[in-house]
A and B are shown apart, each in its own frame.
Chain A
Amino acid sequence: MPKLPFSSEEQSLRNMDRLPQNVLNVQTFDVTDRVMARIRQSSQESSGPTAARRLRPRIAAPALVAIAVLGTAVSGYAASQYLELRNNKGDVVLNTAVTSPSTDDVKQRVRAEEAYREEAKSRLQPGEYAAYYVKDGDASSRQIDFVYKENEVSSFDRLQEEAKRTGAPLFHAPVHLPDGYRFDLGYVYPVFAIPAANSAEYQALTDELIRKAEAAPEGDKLVTHKLNPNPSDLEFKLTFARYAKGTDYVTITASKYDPKSSSFTVMQNGQDKAEQLTVNGVEAYYIQAGEGSQPLEAGKNRLGWLDEQRGLNFTLSDNQDSPLSKEDLIRIAEDLIAPQR
């Protein structure tokens, strides 16, 4: 059944298509391995998007932050059509989009990468940052990565002090927390400039880490190299707070963004329910994880909004089997959003 309404003349041309006789030929056509081999080869030569990525400062999101922000990606568009939040000019500044779950292979690789990152972080003191390399037998992945160990604090006052000292986002302590939830931990997190992939500095760092890895005893796959960043290279763009009751928790993440040039896409599963809300006069989104849907590295409930005046993106989230409801998150949001006139 054609997608377009074709005229009889067009249809007679379509009848001269020999694709149906070649269906098997097309169905068995698969160049994935060959294309990926060429890409890995070219990545080795520091080209492609990996190189571009290295040129930009980035947030190496720690695991706890990932709960709240992994589903949130900064992009220059708002194409997809689940929910749309607009600014006062009518431009879409945040939208939600559905994503399909990753394949098992990808999940496994992400888990392995996360484990190595955590191990690299465990070798650091709070406030330190390092480059690391994993010798995993894949000669094509001669890539180093970077990790920062955040300075965790155990009181909200300390978190605010840290935020003031570093210029990280500030917010009020929520007063309407669910029963029994107490401040558990918090930290500020920097975006740090890392050397460009094609720079001599980056190459020297890679060579040194690979040399170290080759000299390391058998079975010792991870090698790290501590770096001393110039304080001006660290821009603290994110503040994270977690409130917990036993194993349940709710998190608040506030991250800086540029309202002039950024828009956001929040990913959700197909079964999740997304809803648009107004909290103290501010448009917000609420996403509830669908029953039986594969979790998207996010909690059961998510609520977020943009503070355009201050250039802050707020996300509230909880754990996947959280007893909290939409109303619990709304009450916290109301404490954080100053009533709009």
Chain B
Amino acid sequence: MDETIEYRVKQVQAGHTEEYAQIVQMFQRPIYVYCWRLLGNQAEAEDAVQDILVHAYQKIGMYTPRVSFSSWLYKMAYRHCLNLIRRQNVQRKFKQCLFPFATTADSAEQVMTRQLFSEPLSRALDQLTVEERNLLVLRIFEEKSFQEIGDIVNKSPDAVKKQYARTKAKLKKTMLHMEEELQCQNYPSALKNKV
């Protein structure tokens, strides 16, 4: 598989543009799912995949196989999603400053269908930074090794491993906290039922 990819990459680097279609077919779905998980929005992920794959083509001449092509592409996807999320956060803050009483019109169902994780994981992931969320997505759902994750986020495997352990603990704490909050909210009705 890897040799096939590297061969196709070399073909594209040598000017066989149409060979890139094969690379797109190999990676479009994994990158789509990855972006969907990171962005938490299916429609945005669809647009992101196209931008990432076009950008990767434009930069493919700079690719050298010091890391796998897959890691190189994931790195590009990660940076793209990171930029998108940061831009969205800035826009959100800007809107909140201008329109402090405006609320988003999305229903819970709409939000749910856009997400690729069920509750409570989805809400807990929202409490993490993009970097932390990325780490969990890559390790738990994309099943990447620490070496591969290191290649994607530009860190050593050991550093990634440590950060992953911290992030996992943070996620667990967040989820426990959310569970406790939920129990508190449900307590009056539970008490009522008991009575």
8 Å CB contacts to A: which residues of B60-88?
A: 60-61, 64-66, 68
Given contacts A9-B168, A99-B7, are A52 and B61 in contact (CB under 8 A)?
A: yes
In the complex, which residues 1-30 of chain A have their Cβ closer than 8 Å to any Cβ of chain B?
2-4, 6, 9-10, 13-14, 16-19, 22, 25-27, 29-30
Q: How far is the CA of A25 from the CA of B168 in the complex (A)?
A: 29
Does B58 lie within 8 Å of A47, measured CB to CB?
Answer: yes
- Determine if A26 and B32 form an interchain contact, defined as CB atoms under 8 angstroms apart: yes
Q: Is the CB of A42 within 8 A of B143?
A: no
CB distance B21 to A36 under 8 Å? yes
Q: Is the CB of A35 within 8 A of B50?
A: yes
Bound Cα distance from A36 to B140, whole angstroms: 32
| Cα–Cα, bound, A16→B37 (Å) | 12
- B143 touching A3 by the CB < 8 A rule? yes
On whether the beta carbons of B168 and A97 are closer than 8 Å, the reply is no
Binary contact readout A94-126 vs B (1 if CB under 8 angstroms, 0 otherwise):
000111100100100100000000000000000
Q: Are B24 and A80 in touch, CB under 8 angstroms?
A: no
Please state if B10 and A75 are interface contacts (CB–CB under 8 Å).
Answer: yes
Contact of B17 among A9, A43, A75, A103 (CB under 8 A): A43
Given A13-B140, A26-B32, A49-B61, residue A31 in contact with residue B10 (CB < 8 A): no
Choose from A38, A79, A267 the contact partner of B54 (Cβ within 8 Å): A38
Which residues on A sit within 8 Å (CB–CB) of B172? 9
Residue numbers in A under 8 Å from B49 (CB-CB): 29, 31
Of the candidates A6, A32, A48, the one whose C-beta lies within 8 Å of that of B21 is A32
Residues from chain A with Cβ under 8 Å of B13 in the complex: 49, 52-53
Q: Which of B100-108, B112-120, B152-160 contacts A (4 or more CB under 8 A)?
A: B112-120
B46 at interface by CB-CB < 8 Å? yes
List A contacts of B122 (CB < 8 A): 16
Q: B6 within 8 Å of A by Cβ?
A: yes
> Do A35 and B53 touch across chains, with their CB atoms under 8 A apart?
yes
Number of residues from A at the complex interface, CB < 8 A: 50
Is A40 in contact with chain B by the CB < 8 A criterion? yes
A66 at the binding interface (Cβ < 8 Å): no
B163 sits at the interface (CB 8 A): no
Q: In angstroms, how far is the closest chain A Cβ from the Cβ of B95?
A: 28
Could you say which of B46, B120, B143 contacts A31, with CB atoms under 8 Å apart?
Answer: B46
Q: Is residue B2 contacting chain A, with contact meaning CB distance below 8 A? A: yes
B54 near A98 (CB under 8 angstroms)?
Answer: no
Q: Given the known A-B contacts A75-B10, A80-B2, A99-B7, are A39 and B50 also in contact in the complex, defined by CB atoms under 8 Å?
A: no
Q: Given A48-B57, A80-B3, do A6 and B14 touch, yes or no (CB 8 Å)?
A: no
Tell me if A34 is interfacial: C-beta within 8 Å of chain B: yes
Query: In the bound complex, do residue A16 and residue B121 qualify as a contact, i.e. CB atoms below 8 Å apart?
Result: yes
Give the CA-CA distance A19 to B45 in the complex, in Å: 14
Interchain CB contact (< 8 A) of B118 among A16, A27, A76, A103: A16
Query: Given A32-B24, A99-B7, A267-B7, A48–B58 Cβ distance below 8 Å?
Result: yes
Contacts of B115 in A (CB 8 A): 18
Decide if B7 touches A39 in the complex (CB within 8 Å): no
A17 and B57 contact, CB distance less than 8 A: no
> Is residue A73 contacting chain B, with contact meaning CB distance below 8 A?
yes
Q: A17-B117, A98-B3 are in contact. Are A77 and B65 (CB under 8 A)?
A: yes
Interface: A50 (CB within 8 A): yes
**A137-172 vs B: 1/0 string, CB under 8 Å?**
000000000000000000000000000000000000
Q: A76 contacts which chain B residues (CB < 8 A)?
A: 64-65
B12 CB–A CB distance under 8 Å: yes
Question: Residue B94 at the A interface, CB < 8 A?
Answer: no
Q: Which of B1-56 contact A (CB under 8 A)?
A: 2-4, 6-7, 10, 12-22, 24-25, 28-29, 32-33, 42, 46, 49-50, 53-54
Contacts of B141 in A (CB 8 A): 14, 17, 19
Say whether B28 contacts A29, CB under 8 Å: yes
Residue B121 contacts which of A4, A13, A39, A80 (CB distance < 8 angstroms)? A13
Inter-chain CA distance A282–B139, complex, in Å, is 45
Find the residue from A9, A16, A98 having the highest chain B CB count within 10 A. Answer: A16
The smallest C-beta distance from A59 to any residue of chain B, in angstroms, reads: 11
> What residues make up the interface of B, taking CB atoms closer than 8 Å to A?
2-4, 6-7, 10, 12-22, 24-25, 28-29, 32-33, 42, 46, 49-50, 53-54, 57-58, 60-61, 64-66, 68, 115-122, 136, 139-141, 143, 145, 168, 171-172
The 4 A-B pairs of least Cβ separation, nearest first, read: A52-B61, A97-B3, A16-B121, A77-B65
Interface pairs (13), CB distance under 8 Å? A17-B118, A19-B116, A26-B29, A31-B50, A32-B21, A35-B24, A35-B50, A49-B12, A49-B15, A49-B17, A49-B58, A79-B6, A79-B65
